[in-house]
Amino acid sequence: MREITTIVTTAGRPDDVSMALAAFACKKLKISFEPRKKRSVRKISQEMQAHVIVAGKNRYDYYAFEASEPFFFHPNSAAFRLKRVARGETDPFLEAMQLNAGDSVLDCTLGLAADAMLAAYTVGESGRVIGLEANPNVAFIVERGMQTYDTSELPLTDCMRQIEVIQTEAVTYLKSLPDSAFDVVYMDPMFEEIIEEATNFEALRFAGEHLALTDDWINEARRVAKKRVVLKAHFRSEWFEQYGFQQLTRVTAKFHYGVLKA
């Protein structure tokens, strides 16, 4: 079987905007363009044996090979979580992170960047948030989405624009850093158990990389974190005990946060 590549195409009826977006994606990802020619995305994917990025009028859709639904950027839960935090309400993620204005945060598993947006809001303009994404297609979709998503909602827009996206695997990047390079290192690997209610992450689960925690990852995170390492995992995960995290239990939640203090 030939290697699965990635190609770019347009929506069914491309205009100048979608053609320009397609050209940008091809240049940025160094991949080729495939004219739509009235074919379905599924047909193009099967014929080319490829993942497909579709440049539409307002956004990119990413169809991982044999996926039934596309992955695309949307602020998702970040919008209402930010509104609650701005009103002075608590958020379990921020309680675990214990961030201050001016802090630096390394999000090892960016995904849709909802947690990174809350981190950016909390650390403010004087702080720094870097998000790592191993899959180049997902990194591209999320980075472009955060830079161009059309919203007048504040503080959501500012938070999205503040996050720096780096396409790389977490351990590789951590090993390139000096000791105590970030105040907080955060990791949210794909859950070992599927949470049925989390349907909005289904496309990401299919499109993204599935990375398990390793001794190397934890050791490097501890070396790089000045204040703490924070883990998000299924409430039954063995990772909390295995790696010595203080598990912050929540009775009604199916995922918990764990903390390793530096």
The model's pLDDT over 158-186, given as tens digits with 9 standing for 90+, comes to 899 999 999 999 999 999 999 999 999 99
In-domain check, residue 69: no
Shared domain check, 14 and 130: no
Pair 88, 52 in one domain: no
Q: What mean pLDDT, rounded, does the chain reach?
A: 89
pLDDT at 237 over 80: yes
Whole-number pLDDT of residue 209: 58
Do 28 and 88 fall into the same domain? no
pLDDT band, very low/low/confident/very high, at 192 (cuts 50, 70, 90): very low
Residue 219 and residue 95 in one domain? yes
**How many beta carbons lie within 10 A of that of residue 134, not counting itself?**
20
pLDDT band at 208 (very low <50, low <70, confident <90, very high): low
CB 73 within 8 A of CB 111: no
* Cross-strand partners of 158: none
First to last CA, the chain: 47
Q: Is residue 70 part of a domain?
A: no
Which residues constitute the domain of residue 220? 78-261
Report DSSP state, residue 12: S
Are 56 and 83 found together in one domain? no
What is this structure's pTM?
A: 0.90
Tell me: do 89 and 203 sit in the same domain.
Answer: yes
Asked, for residue 155, whether it belongs to a domain, the answer is yes
> Would residue 239 count as lying in a domain?
yes
Are 228 and 161 contained in the same domain? yes
> Can you give the pLDDT at residue 197?
41
> What average pLDDT does the segment 146-154 reach?
79
Looking at the predicted structure, is the pLDDT value of residue 194 above 90?
no
CATH assignment of the domain containing 150: 3.40.50.150
Domain match, 58 and 35 both = yes
The reply to whether 72 falls in a domain is no
**32 and 125 fall within a common domain:** no
> pLDDT for 219-230, tens place per residue?
999 999 999 999
Residues 13 and 141 in one domain: no
Number of domains in the chain: 2
| 199 band by pLDDT with thresholds 50, 70 and 90 | very low
Average pLDDT of the residues in 15-23: 93
Residue 84 has pLDDT above 80, yes or no: yes
Copy the structure tokens of residue 59.
């956004």
Question: Using an 8 Å Cβ cutoff, are 47 and 26 in contact?
Answer: no
Do 20 and 46 belong to one domain? yes
Kindly provide the b/e burial profile for residues 200-214, where b requires at least 16 CB atoms within 10 angstroms of the residue's own CB: ebebbbbbbeebebe
Q: What does each C-alpha distance from 153 to 150, 159, 160 come to in angstroms?
A: 9, 10, 11
- pLDDT value for 91: 94
CA distance 30 to 32: 7
Query: Which of 1-5, 121-125, 201-205 is predicted with the least confidence, judged by mean pLDDT?
Result: 201-205
The answer to whether position 185 is within a domain reads: yes
Alpha carbon separation from 1 to 4, 5, 176 (Å, rounded): 9, 12, 35
Check residue 203 and give its pLDDT.
55
- The answer as to whether 122 is a domain residue is yes
Whether 6 contacts 44, CB under 8 Å: no
Same domain, 53 and 85: no
Where among 18, 34, 63 does a domain terminate?
Answer: 63
Closest-CA residue to 44 (of 22, 29, 17): 22
CATH of the domain at 58: 3.40.50.10480
Q: Determine, yes or no, domain membership for 68.
A: no
More confident residue, 69 or 221: 221
pLDDT at residue 195, as a whole number: 41
Segment (H or E) for 187: strand 182-187
